Amino acid sequence: MAQGLEVALTDLQSSRNNVQHHTEEITVDHLLVRRGQAFNLTLYFRNRGFQPGRDNIIFVVETEDAVYLDSEPQRQEYVMNDYGFIYQGNKNWIRPCPWNYGQFEEKIIDICLQLLDKSLHFQTDPATDCALRGSPVYVSRVVCAMINSNDDNGVLNGNWSENYTDGANPAEWTGSVAILKQWHATGCQPVRYGQCWVFAAVMCTVMRCLGIPTRVITNFDSGHDTDGNLIIDEYYDNTGRILGNKKDTIWNFHVWNECWMARKDLPPGYGGWQVLDATPQETSNGLYCCGPASVRAIKEGEVDLNYDTPFVFSMVNADCMSWLVQGGKEQKLHQDTSSVGNFISTKSIQSDERDDITENYKYEEGSLQERQVFLKALQKLKARRFHGSRRGAELQPSRSTPLSQDSPRSLDVPSLRPSDVVQVSLKFKMLDPPNMGQDISFALLALNMSSQFKDLKVNLSAQSLLHDGNPLPPFWQDVAFITLSPQEAKAYPCKISYSQYSQYLSTDKLIRISALGEEKSSPKKILVNKIVTLSYPSITINVLGAAIVNQPLSIQVIFANPLSEQVEGCVLTVEGSGLFKKQQKILLGVLKPQHRASVILETVPFKSGQRQIQANMRSNKFKDIKGYRNVYVNFAL
């Protein structure tokens, strides 16, 4: 009988294979290959050589690739690119926040695998968990739950309290690497603190590291509908001040992820981009995670498809109802069908420009199709609520907040009566750009569209907002009395001084100005508001000389105190994958009013290609003056 072959040594050809599979930036010491692509290995036998025709070697492999993108530019952007932008601000002032994803940095792959092993799924049933790791639907839900720490020792603690004394202000972060390495170094203790864009950015790093195409999405005026009726209720008092402690909110912006994957668990046509939201808002199947929800299902109102599609639908397409609270009673002011879900944004492919993808999520606001989809989604939610079968519950994991059972307007869409039509319009207009440290100048524009005289009393107020829509107490109020002739327009100028707002600002630098107008001898009310984001001058970064692998490089960082007062505790952080081995921190101390200064940093680039430097400066008065600079690193000649 012929003697069988005995394998003495297996050469995985890690260095060669990893280059061909674009994983050499992670490691060349261990084999790391991507799905659906050939790789080479060499077997050495102990007892004799391999004889073709006589010997057979059988490999058992599974080659299905459920996350394959057929576009090379998209693969380069959504898997290989290790930096990007997260869009913040408000719909009238969208600013890019540079971010270092760093998915190929040292130890990141090991930390990502450790993250999977620390999940409750693995801890409860490791065999089943490992068997399911070939499913991107399963893996994405596990990662989504592990990015926040609400159920486990996940990566990040969320904090929206404005008190960050025992951790980092979320606005200070400029990359995921420092967060993931801190989580690993402290024995998997949650890092303090994160908010939505930090959760999404870290999840992007983990998913790209695992080879799943991922991008970061910002939705401006994002609805958080807690009672599942697709209506966001906002309440105001008679001064125009928005009231807090309400269930529903409109986040000034909210950030989540899209991951590309097949969805064999859904009907045909619902694969592709899927929403995953790691920010802990509501639970799904008992854990704080959200998705994957098919973007196409959201656009078509198919809210009965897995996972958490109704919640995501409400974030981009809920209606907003404004109520006046006076004397313990609620009076409807107006319903807005287009205020939620604006300028849905992500970084463009192989470009630093912003890509508006709102049309992926919904039909054009005001169109017949958009209203039809909204009503279809509403009817599906009604069916779930009133006929909630067990089968329906299985199809869609329930969220922690049940659908409202007792509100008379819970699933009804009110329509405006002819008597609700107001013949006077109010609008805010900025007179100067709103810069931090300067007075805020704006005007209230009043227009009489009728053929009668109008006497108006307008209550104006200003209050700081957190980006999740929760208000802080008002710090400025005014009352305007305006008389308008038929068809007349008037401007009422307003100014809020720096001394009036400086001590009341939140980290988000958001101010909501509101006006509640009423006609003399009429019960009609007119509400208008505007969100103002105060801007800082950016940090300037100059690269002094050519950037070449393994050769010294000097980088100049120019920064300034934009305020007319002294600031203390100034710290500059600088990082960049392939340029710095770790995040750089420079203690700057005290900066005098309007003082401008610079520092020179020395580094040695260790990776070639397109790179990005990210910088942030914080002090006792501000936390997130940012800047970035793209750098192309060449090989040495």
Catalytic residue of the set 227, 233, 277, 508: 277
Helices (H) and strands (E) in the chain — how many of each? 14, 29
Closest CA to 65 of 294, 216, 260, 240: 260
Closest CA to 200 of 241, 155, 137, 263: 155
Both tokens assigned to 132: 């399911």
Catalytic: 196? yes
Contact between 537 and 473 under an 8 Å Cβ cutoff? The reply is no
Rounded distance between C-alpha atoms, residue 262 and residue 270, angstroms: 8
Catalytic: 277? yes
DSSP 8-class letter at 165: T
Both tokens assigned to 286: 């008992």
Catalytic residue of the set 97, 188, 196, 570: 196
Beta bridge partners of 199: none
Rounded distance between C-alpha atoms, residue 199 and residue 126, angstroms: 25
- Please give the single-letter amino acid code of residue 410: S
Catalytic: 254? yes
Contact between 199 and 148 under an 8 Å Cβ cutoff? The reply is yes
**How many C-beta atoms lie closer than 10 Å to residue 198's C-beta?**
27
Q: 433 burial class (0-12, 13-18, 19+ CB within 10 angstroms)?
A: exposed
Beta bridge partners of 234: 322
Share of the chain residues as helix, strand and coil, in percent rounded to the nearest 5: 20, 35, 45
317 labelled binding-site residue: yes
Catalytic residue of the set 254, 290, 467, 570: 254
Closest CA to 228 of 303, 172, 153, 169: 303
Both tokens assigned to 315: 């974030």
Rounded distance between C-alpha atoms, residue 108 and residue 270, angstroms: 31
478 labelled binding-site residue: no
φ, ψ of residue 282 in degrees (nearest 5)? -135, 165
Whole-angstrom CA distances from 593 to 215, 566, 627 are 39, 5, 20
Contact between 218 and 345 under an 8 Å Cβ cutoff? The reply is yes
Vertex 322: Cα angle to 318 and 325 (nearest 5): 140
Whole-angstrom CA distances from 322 to 244, 335, 336, 516 are 13, 6, 8, 12
Beta bridge partners of 561: none
What are the residues whose beta carbons fall under 8 Å from the beta carbon of 72, sequence distance 6 or more? none
Rounded distance between C-alpha atoms, residue 139 and residue 132, angstroms: 8
Closest CA to 626 of 539, 564, 568, 552: 539
**What separation, in Å, do the N-terminal and C-terminal C-alpha atoms of the chain show?**
59
365 labelled binding-site residue: yes
Q: Show binding-site residues for Ca(2+).
A: 317, 319, 365, 370
List active site positions.
Answer: 196, 254, 277
Q: Show binding-site residues.
A: 317, 319, 365, 370
